[in-house]
């Protein structure tokens, strides 16, 4: 069965960012949908400035598409991410040290930090900084590193070296996907390498992600499920997840839970 449109769009954009050029036939096969569906997806993404259609496929639209890509991700499942953001912020106390991963889910935690006091917020994201910079009552630490325009984040040896000097913080990560068997995993090796370093230094690890990320695995493993202290999502992920959380002593939070 093929993926829903939003999931297909995200897959197409991730593959395009990785490979630079895609073919309709290959996408249709990998996503288990018709070529007509893929062409419709490419038209939608082109209309949103995220790619440029070519004969039989697509390429990135150019430098301006990078900002469009980040903005697009922020608009997808925004209500669900805002719900997660509010729950996540409820687990942050005045004076805490926290790390917010670059991404649209952690982006939605930031508005709920306004009424907190004296936080130290660690980020590797220019995009998150555009929202954090107005909260001058918090201390903001930026890792530095190699800047990637398509995700507006900073990774690589410099970023990892900066994280290696820090500790005693709570890390909020959304990774790409999560499963009971494989834990959390990602598609981009540079991001995965950096996230591994973050979680190694954190004294508390919290996964934040919409329900559609559940029950999936990606190529590169980040951490086992039991390495997490808490999982926050936008709706009940199912009895299997409730049982796994109980077994592995992980706090599982979603709306209407305490």
pLDDT tens, residue order, the chain (258 aa): 345 777 788 788 878 876 778 999 999 998 889 999 999 999 988 887 788 899 999 987 665 555 555 555 656 667 899 999 999 999 999 999 999 999 889 999 999 999 999 999 999 999 899 899 889 999 999 999 999 877 789 999 999 999 999 999 999 999 989 999 999 999 889 999 999 999 999 999 999 999 989 999 988 999 999 999 999 999 999 999 999 999 999 999 999 755
The domain 5-68 is placed in CATH, from the list 1.10.10.10, 3.90.1720.10, 1.10.357.10, 3.90.650.10, at 1.10.10.10
For residue 153, which phi and psi values (nearest 5 degrees)? -125, 175
Q: Two tokens at 40? A: 């419709």
SS3 annotation, 17-39: HHHCEEEHHHHHHHHCCCHHHHH
Q: Which CATH class is domain 77-253?
A: alpha beta
Distance of CA 208 to the CA centre of its chain: 8
Neighbours of 201 (CB within 10 A): 18
Residues of the chain with CATH 1.10.10.10: 5-68
DSSP state for residue 138 in the 8-state scheme: S
The pTM for the full model equals 0.77
């Amino acid at each position: 069965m093929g993926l829903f449109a939003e999931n297909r769009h995200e897959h197409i954009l991730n593959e395009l960012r990785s490979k630079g050029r895609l073919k309709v036939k290959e996408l249709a096969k990998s996503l288990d949908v018709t070529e007509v569906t893929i062409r419709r997806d490419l038209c939608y993404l082109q209309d949103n400035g995220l790619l440029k259609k070519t004969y039989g496929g697509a390429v990135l639209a150019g430098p301006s598409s990078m900002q469009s890509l980040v903005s697009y991700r922020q608009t997808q499942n925004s209500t669900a991410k805002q719900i997660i953001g509010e729950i996540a912020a409820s687990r942050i106390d005045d004076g805490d040290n926290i790390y917010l991963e670059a991404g649209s889910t952690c982006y939605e935690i930031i508005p709920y930090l306004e009424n907190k006091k004296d936080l130290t917020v660690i980020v590797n994201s220019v995009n998150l900084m555009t929202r954090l910079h107005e909260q001058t009552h918090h201390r903001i630490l930026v890792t530095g590193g190699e800047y990637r325009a398509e995700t507006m984040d900073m990774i690589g040896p410099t970023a990892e070296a900066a994280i290696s000097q820090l500790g005693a913080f709570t890390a909020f990560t959304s990774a790409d996907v999560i499963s009971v068997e494989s834990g959390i995993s990602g598609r981009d090796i540079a991001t995965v390498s950096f996230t591994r370093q973050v979680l190694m230094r954190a004294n508390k690890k919290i996964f934040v992600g919409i329900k559609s990320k559940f029950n999936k695995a990606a190529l590169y493993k980040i951490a086992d499920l039991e390495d997490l202290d808490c999982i926050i999502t936008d709706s009940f992920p199912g009895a299997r997840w409730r049982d796994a959380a109980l077994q592995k002593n992980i706090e599982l939070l979603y709306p209407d839970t305490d």
